[in-house]
Structure 1
Amino acid sequence: MNLDTLAVIRAGYKPVQPTVRQSGGSVAYLEMLPDHRLQPFIHCYWQLKTSVPLENPFLYRVVADGCIDIFFEADRPEKSFVMGFCKQYTEFELDSVFNYVGVRFLPTMFPQLFKIDASSLSNRTEDLEAVIPSTARFVAERFVPGLPTSAIRQQLDDYFLRHIARTDFNHDPRLYGAIATIMQKSGVLTIEKDIDSGISPRQLRRLFEYYIGDTAKTFSKIVRFQNILRAKPSTHSLRENKLFYDAGYYDQAHFIKAFKSLYGVTPSRAFGR
C-alpha cells in the first residue's frame, strides 16, 4: 500500500476520546502508541482500568471517532469484541472492577487488514469470535490476568506486525483522495461539489461504506466534530466567537444538537469551562 497515502491519514486524523472524570481517580484511561511500523494502521492501543473496586457500576461513554476498535477484558480474555464505526456516542455500563484493553484502527485500516465490510459492523458491538476467529483465539491464548501494560503492548505489536506482513492492501486513489480532501477541509465541505473522485456518487458511497462503515457525508460530520474536540474551545469562545459557523453549522442550536448526538452531553458540559 502506498506509504504516502497512509501518512496522509495518520497526519490528518487524530481521533480523540474524552478523559475519565467521574471516578475520582479510581479509573484510569491510557493510550499507547504501537510500534512505529504499525502507526500508519493503528492509531493507538488503549487501556481502561480500575485502581480500586468502585462502589457502583461504571458508565463509560465512547464518543464518535470514525474508527473501529477491537477490545477485551485483560483479566478475562476469552471474551473479546469488535466495535464498528458509530455515527453517535455509545455508553457501556461496566462492573465495579475492570481492566479493558483495546486496539483503535485508523479509518479504512480494519477492512484492509481483515477483508471485512466495515458497514456490516457499523453502530454495533459484536463478539470478535464471530467476526475474526483467529484474532479472538490469539487474545484468549496469549493474555493472562495481571499481565503488565508493557507486555500487553508487546504482544499486540508482535501479532499485528506478523498480520500486516502477510496482508495485501487495496490502495484505491479515488477513496483515499476523497478522504484526504475531507481531512484537509476539516470535514466542512459539500461532498458532491468539493470531492472530484472521478467516479459516480453511488460508487463513492460503496467505497466509503465498505472501508469506513458509512457515507462520506457521515464521515465528514465526524471529522468536523473531532476537530472541535481537538481544538478544546471554551464555552465562551463557542458562544461569543460563533465558532459553530466556522465549523459548518447553521446556528448554535444546530451545533448543540449535533454535538450532543456525537458526544452524549452538550458542549458546555463536555468542555467544562
Structure 2
Amino acid sequence: MYTRQIKPAHQLSPYIAHFWLWDQNHTFALPDMLPGTGVEMLFNFGDALIIQTNQQSRLRSNDCIVICPRKSLIQIQPTGITKTLSIRFRSAGFFTLFGLPLTELSDQISPTSHLLPSNLLIQLVESKSDIAKVTLLEQWLLQQMVKIKNQDSALQWAIDKIYYQYHNDSINEVKNQLKCSERTFQRKFKIFTGVDAKYFERTARFQSALKTLLAAHSNQYITVAFDHGYYDQPHFIKDFKYYTQATPSEYLTERNFSLNYYTTT
C-alpha cells in the first residue's frame, strides 16, 4: 500500500488542503470516509470502486466524482487494483471556486462532467506519473481561480475561524464581528458548507480530536477530548459513536491507526 499527501501551489492553498494519492494492489477495504467539513473530488485510475452511502454506486475506471460527506458515513470497496487521486477542498474552498451551493451536494455522490474541461480527464489518464497528474489539476484550478467573482471573503474568514476554534462562543464571536443577522449568516453559511454553523463546529471539533488520536496511535482519549472543548467523557463518546458508528475502544485500534486518511507514507 502506498499513500501520499501533496500540498497545493501557494495560490491554491486557501481553497485546497492537499492532493491525496492512494495505491494498493489488493482488495482490502479502504478506510471509511467519515462525516466531515470539506469536499473530495475523487479520480479513479484503477479498477472500479463500489461506493456505499445512502445508496450504492459504482465509480468506474478513469472516471471522477465529487463526495461531500456531512451526516453520512461513506464506505469504499475496491474490486481489484486501487489507484486513486483526490483533491481535498477546504471547507469554503469548493463553493468559492465553482459556485455550486453545498446544500445541493451534501451527502451525495455527484458526477463531475459539468465541472471538468472535456479533455482534462483524458490528459490525466495519459499522464505517466502522479506528479504530472497533480500538475495538470493545479493548472486547471489556477485557471478556475481567475473566473472567481464576488468572493465573500468575510464569510470564508468566519468559516476558517469556527473550524480552528473549539469553544462554544466561537460562532457568536464571528457573528458579532460580521455584523449580520442570524438569518443571513446561517443562509450563507449553509451555501458555503452544506450545514448550519453549529453542526459544522461540532464536526470540526471531532475531526481535530480524532486526527490527534490517530496521529499519536493513542486510545487514551480523555485529555485530547478536553483539549478540544468536550466537557466530559460521555459527551465525547456520544459524538464518537455518531461520526464513526463505533465507540472509541472499538475504533482506536491498530488497523485504524495504520489505515486512515491521515496516513502520509
Q: Same fold (TM over 0.5)?
A: yes
Cα distance in 1 between the residues matched to 2:199 and 2:79: 32
Shift in Å, 1:103 = 0.7
Counterpart position of 2:45 = 74
Q: How well do the aligned residues superpose, as a CA RMSD in angstroms?
A: 2.6
Question: Which amino acid in structure 1 is aligned with residue 225 of structure 2?
Answer: F
Of 176, 190, 193, the match for 2:156: 176
Gaps of 5+ in 2: 47-59, 255-265
Of 3, 6, 9, the match for 1:35: 9
Shift in Å, 1:191 = 6.1
1:81 is paired with a residue of what secondary structure?
Answer: strand
Where has structure 1 moved over 6 Å in runs of 4 or more? none
1:118 is paired with a residue of what secondary structure?
Answer: coil
Cα distance in 1 between the residues matched to 2:198 and 2:185: 11
Cα distance in 2 between the residues matched to 1:215 and 1:235: 30
Counterpart position of 1:118 = 102
Shift in Å, 1:246 = 4.4
- Following superposition of structure 1 onto structure 2, how do residues 115-264 of structure 1 map, counting pairs within 5 Å? 115-129=99-113, 133-135=114-116, 137-144=118-125, 147-173=128-154, 175-186=155-166, 188-190=167-169, 193-195=172-174, 196=176, 197-232=178-213, 234-236=218-220, 238-239=221-222, 241=223, 243-264=224-245
Q: How many residues end up aligned between the 2 structures?
A: 236
Of 70, 73, 85, the match for 1:86: 70
Cα distance in 2 between the residues matched to 1:149 and 1:46: 10
Shift in Å, 1:72 = 1.6
Q: 1:165 to 1:87 in 2, by over 3 A?
A: same
Shift in Å, 1:254 = 2.9
Cα distance in 2 between the residues matched to 1:138 and 1:252: 52
Counterpart position of 2:83 = 99
Cα distance in 1 between the residues matched to 2:39 and 2:164: 22
1:221 is paired with a residue of what secondary structure?
Answer: helix
2:116 is paired with a residue of what secondary structure?
Answer: helix
Shift in Å, 1:269 = 4.2
2:107 is paired with a residue of what secondary structure?
Answer: coil
Q: 1:192 to 1:39 in 2, by over 3 A?
A: closer
TM-score (norm 1): 0.75
Gaps of 5+ in 1: 1-26
Shift in Å, 1:118 = 0.9
Counterpart position of 2:258 = none
Cα distance in 2 between the residues matched to 1:264 and 1:29: 25
Cα distance in 2 between the residues matched to 1:139 and 1:268: 44
Shift in Å, 1:29 = 2.4
Shift in Å, 1:176 = 3.4
| Equivalent residues of 1:60, 1:91 under 8 A apart | yes
Cα distance in 2 between the residues matched to 1:85 and 1:207: 19
| Equivalent residues of 1:60, 1:94 under 8 A apart | no
1:209 is paired with a residue of what secondary structure?
Answer: helix
